[in-house]
Each structure stands twice: as C-alpha cells, then as structure tokens.
Amino acid sequence: MQSVDLHLLPHFDALISQRSVSKAAAQLGITQPAMSSALSRLRHLFGDPLLIRHGNTLQPTERAMHLHREFKPLLEAWRSETVAGTDFDPADAHKSYQIYASDYIQFIALPGLVARLRAVAPHIRLRILPPTPHGGQDMLTQNHIELYIGHYPNPPDSLRASFLFEESACCLVRAGHPLLARPWNVDTFLDYEHMDAVGHAGYFNIQLDAALTEQGRRRRVAMMLSSYLAVPFVLRDSDLIATLPASMAGALAPLSGTVVLPAPLPLPRLRISMFWHERHQTDAAHAWLRRFILQEAEALADAHGTPRPRGGAAPGA
C-alpha cells in the first residue's frame, strides 16, 4: 500500500465520493479553498490528476479509483471513528470549549482561525487559556479543558494527538546592535548575553544549550521572561540576544525595531501538536473542531512556509 499523509485521507475520500470540491468541503466542514489546496497536495503526492473535469462534474481517474479501493480499510476505520459526526451542523451548534495555548500559539494561529470559525460556526465559543507550569496533561485528564495545543514530547496513552506544524529557530536583536557589524557565527553569538522565554520558545534554548555543551561552550543568560510577546520589545533597549520561533520573530520584528538573524548552528525543529483526552475521541462536535483546527494549521504552514511532514496522526487517531 502506498504511503499517504493520513491528514489527507478524509479529503481524498470526500473528493472521490462527492466528485465536487465544494461538496467535499461542505462534507468535512472546511472552506472550498482549503479543499482545493488538499486536492493539489494529493495530486502532487500521487503524481496523478485524480479528478478530471467532465462537464459540470469531476470524474475520478482510473488511478484515483484504484487508490480509493486500496485505502478502503483505512477509510472504513476513519468513518467508524467519525460516524457520530454526520449529524453535526457547525452553523447551528451552540458549544463552548476551553483550550490551553501559549501566547506564541495564540499570536500566530488565532487571528485567521477566529475569523473563519465565526464564519462557519458563529455560535461556538472558545476560551483560550495559557498553560499552567505543569502543562495541559492534568487539565485534559480531569476534563477541565478540551484541547491542548503545543509541544508535548511524551504524552500519556490516555491522550490522543494530531500533528499541526513545525517551527524553525531564529535569533532576534535590536536594530543597531553592534554584532550586526560583525560576521554572524557562534563566536559572535556567545560574545553577548542572552534573553530566554519559557514554554515552547524555551525548547530552542534547551536545544541550543545541548548543542553548545557538546562543544564545551555555554551561553550567558541575563534575563528570562514568561511571555514570548514581550521579548522583542524588551530586546530593543538592550544588547541581549533572543532565540525564538521564526514565524513569531518575523512578524514582531517590524513592530519592535528588531532584526531577525538565522540560528548560529543547526537546531531541531519545534513540533506543535493538538492533544485531547480519549473520552472526546468520538464526540461529533469535538471531532469537527479538531478537523477545523487541523485545516487551519495547514493554511498557517502554507503562509509561513513551515513544513508539515508526512506521518502525523489523523484527527481521529
């Protein structure tokens, strides 16, 4: 069986079944441009047009029908997980959800998500809370929140997960910083003191320190902040260096009088996923919200150029 991104499996099934981009989008509760984007990725993945226009409809190619049969066991498993959602209508749903997400996640993901959510599900209410120092595991287990969005490397078996996107690291300094007149390398990086932010952004600081330790070197951290969003605005009045997620740094640099630099050495990417407790696995409204957030993550990755490699769990995984 050919490898396929399981995130695209529901899209593929809907497109073959409906033979219409707009109808397939309506079936999954996503926008038509989002479904068109999924079709483009599927065509690239399989090296086949999959659907060819014939009059007012789209006709599946021979290869598309073969693939649909080949993936039948996976499709049936997915349908069995989401059958409870067939009667769910987001336009009429009155639901409230509490979600843990850091200010970094809120900053890069919420603006587009909220606008589109209001358009398709105007009565759904979201309460976004900053994670506690212990993260979201206990809150999910105790049913105090419905979703946790962030970095969680070793979740317990009771939690389900769906990969959303990856982030690369970059460095941020004030405009006019003296290091900008020097070659940018590890030596220059270590000649100045640093500012760290806790939480997801701290992931890169941990990776940095591990890489430097292997070289017998270390950073001098002069300040640590609890808010990622404050970092660029504090930096502009100092000669400190911060290492942050690239999408956030790129968006805030023009507003804060700071300059983005590449990380001075290769660092692992930060993986952001969506987590929920298994009790919500077959809940129709919850499943719809997960699919909606997953689709928004795909749009976000396209906008920021952040990769979404194959192999992440599907929304119903």
Express each pLDDT in 234-267 by its tens digit.
999 999 999 999 999 999 999 999 999 999 999 9
What is residue 128's predicted lDDT score, i.e. its pLDDT?
Answer: 92
Q: What percent of the chain has pLDDT over 70?
A: 85
What is residue 149's predicted lDDT score, i.e. its pLDDT?
Answer: 92
Express each pLDDT in 132-169 by its tens digit.
766 666 788 777 899 999 888 777 777 888 888 889 99
Res. 122 pLDDT band, cuts 50 70 90: very high
Averaged pLDDT score across all residues of the chain: 84
What is residue 158's predicted lDDT score, i.e. its pLDDT?
Answer: 79
Record the tokens describing residue 105, joined without a space: 């996640």
- pLDDT of 18 higher than 80: yes
**Which amino acid makes up residue 47?**
G
Specify the 3-state DSSP secondary structure of 78: helix
Superfamily of chain region 92-167+270-304: Periplasmic binding protein-like II (3.40.190.10)
The CATH number assigned to the domain with range 169-262 reads: 3.40.190.10
What is residue 69's predicted lDDT score, i.e. its pLDDT?
Answer: 84
What CATH class does 7-82 carry? mainly alpha
Three state DSSP letters for the chain:
CCCCCHHHHHHHHHHHHHCCHHHHHHHHCCCHHHHHHHHHHHHHHHCCCCEEEECCEEEECHHHHHHHHHCHHHHHHHHHHHHHHHHCCCCCCCCEEEEEECHHHHHHHHHHHHHHHHHHCCCCEEEEECCCCCCCHHHHHCCCCCEEEECCCCCCCCEEEEEEEEECEEEEEECCCHHHHCCCCHHHHHCCCEEEECHHHHHHHHHHHHHHHHCCCCCCEEEEECCCCCHHHHHCCCCCEEEEEHHHHHHHHHHHCEEEEECCCCCCCEEEEEEEEHHHCCCHHHHHHHHHHHHHHHHHHHHHCCCCCCCCCCCCC
Among the ranges given (78-87, 130-139, 151-160, 281-290), the one the predictor scored with the smallest mean pLDDT: 78-87
Fold match, 7-82 / 169-262: no
pLDDT: which is higher, 109 or 299: 109
Which sequence spans correspond to the domains of the chain?
7-82, 92-167+270-304, 169-262
What is residue 199's predicted lDDT score, i.e. its pLDDT?
Answer: 59
Q: Which residues pair with 273 in a beta bridge?
A: 150, 163
This prediction's pTM: 0.68
pLDDT: which is higher, 157 or 117: 117
Element housing 111 (H / E): helix 103-120
